[in-house]
Structure 1
Amino acid sequence: MTEVTFHFNVPDKLAYACRLVRRARGAGSRVVVTGEPELLRRLDTELWTFSALEFIPHAHAAAADAQVVAASPVVLADVPRGTPHHEVLVNLGGPVPEGFERFERLNELVSQDEADRLQARARWKHYADRGYAIRRHDVAEREPR
């Protein structure tokens, strides 16, 4: 069964997603990131520029060359169903990702925005109603005060 973790109070979803993807890649995991197309476009740029000393290889699932997508350790996908990897899924928000149950781990990123939090509550309820154990990680509790 998919391990679900909610990361609450994320101040900057794109920067946090980059760090989360970097950590997963460092552990040898392959990652799929899903979200709204515009947010994925911005994440694509961020993955190229967030660190001057490293690059996280990635591809968009809509890329013309399926071999490149399959070989990429990080795939950006509007809809994760049908992506080549099934290890880690990072959801940047919106509805419950189609096909999330195929993944070993699902990380839900939730900002401090009230609309984002409401959508996250609906996703939490969806997973809980289906018997998924949910871990909660409050990013604000780890931030220095």
Structure 2
Amino acid sequence: MTEIAFHFNVPDKLAYSCRLLRKAYLSGASIVVTAEPAVLAELDQLMWSFSPAEFVPHCRADAAEVTLAATPVVLAESLQACPHYGVLVNLGPEIPGGFERFERFIEVVAQSDEDRLAARSRWKHYTDRGYAMKRHDLATAGEGA
């Protein structure tokens, strides 16, 4: 069963995601990030300049098949044709269709009331279906990743 973790109280969702993706990439994980197109475009741009000394290879899901196969981080609006099912990171407000195919699933939740409300609904959806949930509250643990 997919291991699900929520990272709550994230002050800057995209900057935090860059650090999270860098950490996952350095551990050897294959990662898919899902969100709305505008968020993925912004994340893509940020990842090019986030850490000049530690570039995290990434591409969009519509890249050539050979590029997808060689790239550890894939930015995808939909999970229909993912090149792998290692780690999924959700930056969007909806439950990604097909999340259960992934080994690990991370929900990143900002501090805004709107993001928290959407996250509560997703949390309930997952727990109602028997998923064991892990909670990482950045407000009490310090800003990790």
Q: TM-score, normalised by structure 1?
A: 0.95
Counterpart residue type for residue 99 of structure 1: G
Structure 1 position 66, deviation (Å): 1.9
Structure 1 position 142, deviation (Å): 2.4
Determine the C-alpha separation between the residues in 1 that align with 2:48 and 2:25. Answer: 15
The answer for the alignment partner of 1:83 in structure 2 is 82
Q: Structure 2: any 5+ residue segments left out of the alignment? A: none
1:84-109 residue CA offsets vs partner (Å, 9 max, x unmatched): 11110000021101110010000000
The answer for the alignment partner of 1:17 in structure 2 is 17
Q: How many residues are paired up?
A: 143
The answer for the alignment partner of 2:135 in structure 1 is 136
Do structure 1's residue 103 and structure 2's residue 102 form an aligned pair? yes
The answer for the alignment partner of 1:40 in structure 2 is 40
The answer for the alignment partner of 2:66 in structure 1 is 67
Determine the C-alpha separation between the residues in 2 that align with 1:142 and 1:129. Answer: 27
1:76-128 residue CA offsets vs partner (Å, 9 max, x unmatched): 00012320111100000211011100100000000011111111011101110
Contact 1:58 1:72 in 2 (8 A): yes
Structure 1 position 72, deviation (Å): 0.9
Moved over 2 A (4+): none
RMSD over aligned Cα atoms: 1.1
Counterpart residue type for residue 130 of structure 1: R
What percent of counterpart residues are identical? 57
Structure 1 position 71, deviation (Å): 1.7
Report SS of the residue matched to 1:97.
Answer: coil
Structure 1 position 26, deviation (Å): 1.2
